[in-house]
Structure formats: C-alpha cells, structure tokens
C-alpha cells in the first residue's frame, strides 16, 4: 500500500494506523485506562499557604477545613473542592446607603455623620461559604445596628471627642456577638471610625466649642504659668531675705567676736597698767569728740546762764554741766567735773552703765 | 447480524442509564430539597448529600436555598408614643424553614421579601408608636431599647411569617435611626444654639478657673514671703543673741572696764556738732585738753 514517494513521516503514521488496527482491543483498553486515570488524578489538589479548602461530596460538606498542602479527594463529580484565602485580613467600609456617610442621632438628639472601616477575617470557611447567603451584607448590617445602638447612648460631645475609642470597642463587641449568632464564619479584627462629623451646616458651631475649650485651657495654663513664676519670684525673694538675714547675723557675730577680742586685749593691757590705759582711752575719745562741739568755758564756780534746753534748731542748749546730743534719744545726765553719763541709745542693751563713769584719773 | 440495527443498542443503553441516574440526586450544602411525585409533594425534606428517588418522570426534585438570607427594609418614617417623627431602618435575617409551605405560598425570595416588608412596616410602626423617644436615644444609655424593640418586632413577624409562608425570622434589628429630613433644619438650628451656649460656658469656666489660680497664687506668694520674713527675723534675732552672748562673755571678765569703754564710745554718739558743752575752767576735761 505504501508508495515509495511518500514522505517518511507519512509512512510512520501509516505504520501506526496499521498497528492500531491490528491491536484494536488493546488500544481501546489503554485509552479507557488513561481517561480513568486522568479523572482520578483530578481529585488531587493543592491548598496554597494562607488559604484553606472545604470539600463537599455530592454537595454535603465532608471536610470543613483543609490546611495548606497537597491533598487527595474523590474525583470531580463526586467531590467538589473550594479554596479560599482565609489568612488575610479583609477590609470593608460601612457607610450609609449609596456610600454616603451614615446619618445618626446621638443620645442628646444631635445629628452626626459617620463612616466606619471594618477589618475582618474568615474564621470558619464552611460557615462563610455555605451558611449565609451574603456574609458581608450581614456584617455591614450588624455593624450598622451596633453603631446605631452605641451612638444612641452617648452625647454628641462624647462621640466627637473622648468617646471614640470606646464606641469602636463597643461596636466591635456587639457586632461580633451578632456575627457569631448568625454563624457567618467571620470574625472582626477591628472596627475603626473613619470619620465622624456634625452635619456640615453645624460644623462651625462645633469648631467654636473646641476653640472655646482651647481658649479656656490656655487661660488656665497662662494663669498656672503666672502662678509658677510669681511663686518662684517669691521663693527667690524669700531666699534672698534669708540670705541677707544670715549675712547680717553672721556679721553681727563677727563684729561681736571682734569687739570681744579687742576688749580682751584692752583688758589684758589694763591689767598690766590699769591707770595708764584708762587715761589713754579717755584722752583719745576726748580728742576725737570735743572738737565737734561748741565749748563754753565758765569760771570756776560759775553757773551757766542758759537754762532752757533748746531755743532754735541747730543750736542746742543743755542743762548745767551736761552735754545734750541731738542724736541721743534719752536725756543727758550731769556729771560733776568732766564726767558725762552716756546713754546707749539705739544700741543693743549690753550691761547698762548705771553709774557715772569715774572721772579720768588725772590728766 | 440481527434485524435491529446496532446503534439502537447504544441508544437503549444510554436511555436506561439516564433513567437510573435520574433516581439519584445531590443536594448542595446551601440547599434543601423536596420531592414531588407527579406534582404531589412527598413528605420529608432532604438535606445536603446524595439521595435516591423514583426515576424521572415519576419524581421531581425542587431545591430551596437553606442559607441565612438578609434583607434590609429600608428607612421609613414613623411616630413615637410622644408624637415625634423618626425614621427607622431595619434588617431582617430569615431562612426558609418549611420549604413546602414556602413553595405553596410565596415561591420566590423576591415575593417572600415583599411580604416580610409589609409585615415589618406595620409591626415596626406599631412598636415605635408604643415607645417614647427615650427608648431610642438617651444620653445616659440606660433607657435605650433599640435591641429589645427589634427583637419584639422580629418575634411578631416571625410568628406571622412562619405560619403563613414557612419562613423563619432569625433576627430583626434596627440598623438605622434618624430624624426626618424636614426636621433637619430646625434640629441643626438647635444644635448650633446649644454649641454656642457650651462655648460660652467653656470660656467663662476658663476665666473663672484662671482667676481662682491667680488668687491662690497671691495667697501662696504672701505665705512664702511672710514665712521668710519671720524666719529672717528669727535668724537676725539669733545672730543678735549670739553677738550679745559673745559680748557678755567677754565683758563679764571685767565689767568695770567694760562700762568705762562703753561710756567713752557713747560720747561719740552723744556729742556732735550741734552740742554745746559748758565746762568750768578748772574741769578735768579742759585740763585734759590743755595737757595734750
């Protein structure tokens, strides 16, 4: 049958066809086996990392959760394998109908507009796939219901400021409870308030409130600062006056010590030459003091002719035989002879000299 | 070779196999099924899996969705017990509980949801009409009964729907609560006025507190200063006392000399350029001057 002018490939095909015709049964059996093998091999499936699978046999779930790896199921037509990425966290925006922010009424009958972001995971694949018609619609409705309930219990102030975190937590908790009751196979990871605002027409009024709050806080802060600085200043002043007092007291002591030691030296000298020392001191003082004063010399036994104390400012007159100092707050006592009894006016009271000093021992 | 042509065997075999296969039916996890024999439903509901029935055309399978279905009622305006207009939105979770009754009465999901909507509108209207505004919104939170109201309406609808349509109402909840659009302007006006009051209150409270702090600061400052003053006085006093003690200790050694020196010192203070001294010519003082 083969003609010599046929190409080698044609000759090969012809030879194969002839072989098939010769072993018809064997070939049919091999083909049937191959088809069967392919069908059976269709039951082998792999689940990727981060995914899991559910196996249904004639529609009924037989494997609720198949972990990642290579697995064997009954062939297609008997078992159906559904694979879903269950590892990832999904995100859903919950707003009002048509994607506009949800409009809600707060407990104190204020309107607010809000949008939420929900993050969730598929925690039970079989429930997620087969238990509810539209798990995410249920999720949306559950979060909305929880939000309505939560906002209805709070004041607008709370919702807009301090209460945000607790609203989020409560909504998550309530919505999660509902999702569990419905067996949606979803679990909430987080509910976040994406936006919460008063209606646009009232925004300015709310801004004014936060402005006023900031202003009040600023006033209080400034008062605190002033208080701090005035206190610091007062403490500084107090510290300074204490330091001054300490210095004064110190100086006073030093002076006292100096005076005491001077006195002791004089005393030592006076012990050695009592009369001499006293005379020296007396004369030194007289020389220092007398040139300042006006001196009227009277004849022996003569009485002063002036018997009034003071006639005009600047010229002092004193009782007989006495010297009156303008600075002396007390009176002046008369000392016979040249003696003058001083008063320690303005000085700390030491042992007060009560007796007239003895007249200088000769001159 | 027989009289019957060969392809006939093939056809007959295929038909027989088809008939046998039609005695088997699979129900998916999301479905339930009932079987009708010549149109008359057989008792029993088949769940997911492979089942047997009489082959076609005797038995026919009708499948129903067994899943939880969610249906939003959409907002509708109602009147509370204290005659306030509110807009309530709710959602219903339901499922087919009695496929046979369902098939006989409403048949499709759309039809069922239309009936549920009718029930909801009337039951919700009645329930809202029994409740005051505080049951819906209350800033203390204690009086809010949204959940309870939803449950009550759900139960009422559930009874009706189960008896009439073989529908189980799994849950009904209020998923939206608002004031009617025509009230919006007045509500916003009230909100603005309220915010204005609050802003004023914040400002005056801030001023008050600042003044309070200022007064407190003055008191504290005075306290610090007067404490320091008295402490300084006592330091001075102590210094003074110490000085006197030192003086006294020294002078006690020779009181006589002390008095003498002290008196001399005091001349310096007592006698100045305003002093006039009357001295008798024979006074020792003059003699002392002469003798210098």
Q: Report if residue B124 sits inside a domain.
A: yes
Helices (DSSP H) in B26-108: which residue ranges? 99-105
Same domain for B39 and B92?
no
Interface touch A267/B257, C-beta < 8 Å = yes
Interface touch B139/A153, C-beta < 8 Å = yes
Same domain for B27 and B134?
no
CA distance A43 to A72: 6
Same domain for B151 and B102?
yes
Interface probe with A: pick from B90, B284, B290, most Cβ of A within 10 Å? B284
The residue among B171, B186, B201 that closes a domain is B186
Beta bridge partners of B63: B33
Average pLDDT rounded to a whole number, residues B108-121 = 92
Same domain for B41 and B80?
no
The pLDDT tens digits of the residues spanning B3-51 come to 667 778 889 999 888 888 888 898 999 999 999 999 888 888 888 988 9
Q: What is the mean pLDDT of chain B?
A: 87
Specify the number of domains making up chain B.
3
Same domain for B57 and B73?
no
Same domain for B90 and B120?
yes
The pLDDT tens digits of the residues spanning B230-242 come to 999 999 898 888 8
Q: What's the gap between Cα A244 and its chain centre?
A: 40
Q: What is the DSSP letter of A94?
A: E
User: Rounded to whole angstroms, what are the CA distances from A48 to A43, A79, A123, A361?
Assistant: 16, 19, 17, 128
Same domain for B163 and B58?
no
Low-confidence residues in chain A, pLDDT < 70: 1-5, 304-363
Non-local CB neighbours of B205 within 8 Å, separated by 6+ positions: A216
* Predicted local distance difference test score (pLDDT) of residue A276: 83
Same domain for B56 and B22?
yes
Percent helix, strand, coil in chain A, to 5, is 50, 20, 30
Interface probe with B: pick from A286, A307, A335, most Cβ of B within 10 Å? A286
* Predicted local distance difference test score (pLDDT) of residue B288: 64
Closest CA of chain A from B3, distance in Å: 26
Average pLDDT rounded to a whole number, residues B192-210 = 92
* Predicted local distance difference test score (pLDDT) of residue A76: 85
Least confident among A79-83, B32-36, B133-137, B250-254: B250-254
Same domain for B79 and B179?
yes
Please give the residue of chain A at the shortest CA–CA distance from B175: A145
Average pLDDT rounded to a whole number, residues B128-154 = 88
Q: Report if residue B268 sits inside a domain.
A: yes
Interchain CB contact of A307 with B (< 8 Å): no
ipTM of the complex: 0.73
Q: Report if residue B170 sits inside a domain.
A: yes
Same domain for B127 and B142?
yes
Same domain for B87 and B104?
yes
Query: Which residues on A lie below 8 Å from B184 (Cβ)?
Result: 111, 199
Same domain for B86 and B146?
yes
Domain CATH for B150? 3.30.479.30
Cβ–Cβ < 8 Å for B181, B86: no
Average pLDDT rounded to a whole number, residues B260-278 = 79
Least confident among A71-85, A336-350, B64-78, B89-103: A336-350
* Predicted local distance difference test score (pLDDT) of residue A5: 63
Interface of A with B in 242-261 (CB under 8 A): 242, 244-246, 248-253, 255-257, 259-261
Q: Report if residue B249 sits inside a domain.
A: no
Interchain CB contact of A321 with B (< 8 Å): yes
Q: Report if residue B272 sits inside a domain.
A: yes
Confidence of residue B279 (pLDDT cuts 50, 70, 90): confident
Domain extent, residue B159, equals 69-186
Query: Which residues on A lie below 8 Å from B290 (Cβ)?
Result: 363
Interchain CB contact of A357 with B (< 8 Å): yes
Would you state the structure tokens that stand for residue A61, as one six-digit string?
């779930």
The residue among B156, B186, B216 that closes a domain is B186
Backbone angles phi, psi at A350, to 5 degrees: -90, -160
Q: What's the gap between Cα B67 and its chain centre?
A: 34
CA distance B279 to A323: 10
The residue among B35, B65, B95 that closes a domain is B65
* Predicted local distance difference test score (pLDDT) of residue B3: 63
The number of CA neighbours under 13 Å toward the Cβ of B50 is 11
* Predicted local distance difference test score (pLDDT) of residue A260: 85
Interchain CB contact of A305 with B (< 8 Å): no
């Amino acid at each position: 049958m083969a003609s010599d002018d046929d190409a080698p490939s044609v000759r090969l095909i012809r030879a194969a066809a002839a072989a098939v015709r010769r072993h018809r049964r064997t070939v049919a059996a091999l083909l049937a086996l191959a088809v069967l093998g392919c069908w059976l091999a269709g039951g082998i499936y792999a689940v990727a990392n981060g995914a899991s699978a559910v196996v249904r046999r004639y529609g009924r779930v037989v494997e609720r959760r198949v972990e990642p790896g290579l697995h064997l199921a009954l062939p297609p037509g008997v078992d159906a394998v559904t694979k879903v990425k269950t590892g990832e966290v999904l995100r859903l925006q919950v707003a009002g109908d048509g994607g506009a922010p949800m409009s809600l009424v707060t407990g104190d009958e204020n309107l607010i507009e809000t949008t939420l972001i929900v993050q969730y995971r598929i925690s039970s694949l079989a429930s997620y796939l087969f238990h509810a018609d539209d798990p995410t619609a249920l999720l949306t409705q559950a979060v909305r219901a929880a939000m309505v309930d939560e906002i209805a219990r709070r004041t607008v102030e709370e919702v807009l400021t301090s209460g945000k975190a607790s609203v989020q937590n409560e909504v998550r908790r309530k919505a999660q409870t509902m999702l569990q009751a419905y067996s949606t196979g979803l679990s909430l990871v987080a509910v976040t308030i994406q936006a919460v605002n008063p209606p646009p027409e009232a925004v300015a009024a709310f801004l004014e409130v936060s402005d006023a709050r900031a202003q009040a806080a600023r006033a209080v802060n400034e008062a605190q600062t002033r208080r701090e600085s005035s206190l610091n200043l007062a403490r500084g002043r107090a510290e300074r006056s204490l330091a001054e007092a300490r210095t004064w007291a110190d100086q006073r002591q030093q002076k006292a010590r100096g005076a005491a030691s001077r006195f002791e030296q004089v005393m030592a000298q006076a012990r050695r030459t009592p009369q001499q020392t006293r005379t020296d001191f007396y004369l030194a003082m007289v020389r220092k003091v007398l040139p300042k004063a006006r001196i009227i010399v009277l004849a022996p036994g003569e009485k002063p002719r002036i018997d009034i104390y003071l006639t005009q400012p600047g010229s002092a007159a004193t009782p007989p035989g006495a010297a009156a100092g303008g600075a002396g707050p007390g009176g002046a006592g008369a000392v016979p002879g040249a003696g003058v009894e001083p008063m320690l006016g303005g000085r700390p009271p030491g042992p007060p000299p009560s007796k007239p000093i003895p007249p200088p021992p000769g001159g | 070779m027989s009289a019957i042509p060969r392809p006939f065997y093939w056809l007959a075999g295929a038909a027989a196999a088809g008939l046998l296969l039609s005695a088997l039916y699979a129900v998916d996890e999301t479905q339930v099924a009932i079987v009708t024999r010549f149109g008359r439903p057989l008792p029993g509901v088949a769940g997911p899996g492979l089942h047997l029935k009489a082959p076609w055309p005797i038995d026919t399978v009708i499948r129903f969705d067994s899943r939880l279905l969610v249906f939003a009622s959409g907002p509708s305006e109602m009147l509370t017990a204290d005659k306030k207009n509110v807009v309530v939105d709710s959602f219903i979770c339901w499922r087919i509980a009695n496929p046979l009754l369902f098939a006989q009465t409403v048949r499709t999901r759309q039809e069922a949801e239309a009936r549920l909507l009718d029930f909801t509108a009337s039951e919700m209207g009645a329930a809202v009409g029994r409740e005051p505004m505080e049951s819906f919104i209350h800033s203390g939170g204690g009086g809010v009964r949204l959940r309870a109201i939803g449950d009550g309406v759900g139960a009422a609808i559930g009874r009706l729907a189960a008896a009439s349509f073989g529908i189980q109402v799994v849950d009904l909840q209020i998923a939206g609560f608002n004031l009617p659009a025509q009230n919006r302007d007045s509500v916003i006006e009230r909100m603005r006025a309220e915010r204005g009051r609050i802003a004023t209150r914040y400002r005056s409270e801030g001023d008050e507190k600042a003044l309070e702090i200022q007064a407190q600061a003055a008191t504290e400052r005075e306290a610090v200063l007067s404490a320091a003053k008295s402490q300084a006085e006592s330091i001075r006093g102590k210094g003074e006392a110490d000085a006197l003690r030192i003086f006294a200790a020294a002078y006690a050694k020779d009181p006589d000399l002390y008095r003498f020196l002290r008196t001399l010192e005091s001349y310096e203070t007592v006698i100045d350029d305003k002093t006039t001294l009357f001295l008798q010519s024979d006074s020792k003082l003059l003699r002392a001057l002469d003798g210098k």
